[in-house]
Amino acid sequence: MNSTILKSLGSIHRYSWVSLLVCWLIWVINAYDREIILRLGPSISKSFDLSPDAWGVIAALIMLSLAVMPIPGSAMSDKYGGGEKRAKFQVPLVIGMAVLSFVSGLKFISHNIVLFFALRFGVNLGAGWGEPVGVSNTAEWWPKERRGFALGAHHTGYPIGSLLSGIMAAAVLSWFGPEGWSYAFFLAIIVAVPVMLFWAKYSTRDKIVTLYKDFDAKGLTRPDAIENLQGHAKGLLKRTVTTPAITVTAVTTLLTQIV
């Protein structure tokens, strides 16, 4: 019975599928917002009269901001709680990132080089923070036996978001001309707000309980002790980083990501 269930994605509860779709859309938004500034590099450089060297340094600093919040931000989300709590933790994070992106596209902001780049730095702080939270959230709504599929499907959102950034940049420059490049920053908030408001309402304790009971009935494995992670777990981060199997895996994966 169990072997048949494991072969069939159709047996996975609809709550898992809905969560995957939402987390995938969040990842698309995240990818779009972090990639769009690279697509608009020539137009931004021309607008601010930046040399290639200056643009290269500025773009590098903006992208480097992606690395600031993943570790402390993910620890904060763990402390807040898993499952439906982590889902709700995502909501203000993603909407806040989208709002910063929208504001950076306003003409009186986008033509002030200091304000513009400060806001884009802030957008990428949020994008880097949101990435691991989204990965954890995806995993917590799926059984262990199908975690590989769920995370693989989730990560297809990045190339889709990256592709969308190129298409949107081309469309905006075509419609509004080179001077209208900042309008490309308006798309994220249009998608992010309805998606995240839905996610805030959809992510409930009752759904998590129902989902995990369904896993049990089908002989599938729940995510590790997620029902016990109610937030404010003392010593959790210390126990995590002092576990060799975890730290070795993390460092190895870090190196592959750098490559």
pLDDT single digits (tens) 63-87: 999 999 999 999 899 888 888 999 9
Give the span between the Cα atoms of 56 and 37, in whole angstroms. Answer: 12
Mean pLDDT of 146-171: 97
Within a domain: 26: yes
Within a domain: 238: no
Q: Tokens 């069939």 sit at which residue?
A: 8
Q: Where does the pLDDT of residue 238 fall: very low under 50, low under 70, confident under 90, or very high at 90 and above?
A: confident
* Number of domains within the chain: 1
CATH number assigned to the domain comprising residue 216: 1.20.1250.20
Give the span between the Cα atoms of 222 and 201, in whole angstroms. Answer: 23
Within a domain: 179: yes
What is the per-residue burial (b if ≥16 Cβ within 10 Å, else e) of 105-122? bbeebbeeeeebbebbbb
Q: Is the pLDDT of residue 2 over 60?
A: no
pLDDT score recorded for residue 1: 46
Within a domain: 118: yes
Look at residues 10, 43, 257 and name the one whose alpha carbon lies nearest to residue 158.
257
Domain that includes residue 131, residue range: 13-229
Give the span between the Cα atoms of 231 and 55, in whole angstroms. Answer: 42
Within a domain: 3: no
For 178-199, the pLDDT digits (tens) are 999 999 999 999 999 999 999 9
For 208-237, the pLDDT digits (tens) are 999 999 999 999 999 875 554 555 556 777
Within a domain: 86: yes
Average pLDDT, rounded, for the chain? 91
Give the span between the Cα atoms of 90 and 77, in whole angstroms. Answer: 9
Look at residues 86, 93, 97 and name the one whose alpha carbon lies nearest to residue 32.
97
Look at residues 207, 244, 245 and name the one whose alpha carbon lies nearest to residue 226.
207
**Among the listed ranges 17-31, 89-103, 214-228, which one has the minimum average pLDDT value?**
214-228
What is the per-residue burial (b if ≥16 Cβ within 10 Å, else e) of 35-68? bbbebbbebbbebbebeeeebeebbeebbebbee
Within a domain: 53: yes
Within a domain: 194: yes
